[in-house]
Amino acid sequence: MSGINSEDIADFIDELRELRQVLTPQKPDPDEYTDLLNRALEKWGFGSQALIWIEELSELIKVIAKRDRVVNPSFESQLLEELADVDICLDQMKILFPEYQEYKIRKVNRLRRLVYHG
């Protein structure tokens, strides 16, 4: 009669560790991520992607707008979901319009003046 030995248990634990590695969301490689966003733009075009941006931004707006309407136990998970979608859209926009950085610097400096000296 064969039983479970310590080697079987060790193998099983190794398999569980590998499975956890596969199932755990991994932060994308920056170069691969940029390439992915560029390929999406090439595949579906600016017009299509712009519609996606509008859709995703409006979904985030809707979640935020409804935050206090009723007791909403799923608010945080909905917010996180839509924030992730919008973050991807913003990353795609930043690739297309890298000069936004100059505007961002000016706006952060303005905010800094208002917060610390306003």
Name which position in 59, 75, 83, 93 contacts Mg ion (CB under 5 A). Answer: 59
**Nearest one of 31, 38, 23 to 96, comparing CA atoms:** 38
How far apart (Å, rounded) are the C-alpha atoms in residues 24 and 110?
A: 40
The first and second tokens of residue 92, run together, are 């795609």
Which of the stretches 2-10, 32-40, 41-49, 78-86 binds Mg ion when contact is defined by CB under 5 A? 78-86
Cβ 12 to Mg ion, closest distance in Å?
38
Among residues 33 and 53, whose Cβ is nearest to Mg ion?
53
Which of the stretches 25-33, 66-74, 82-90, 93-101 binds Mg ion when contact is defined by CB under 5 A? 82-90
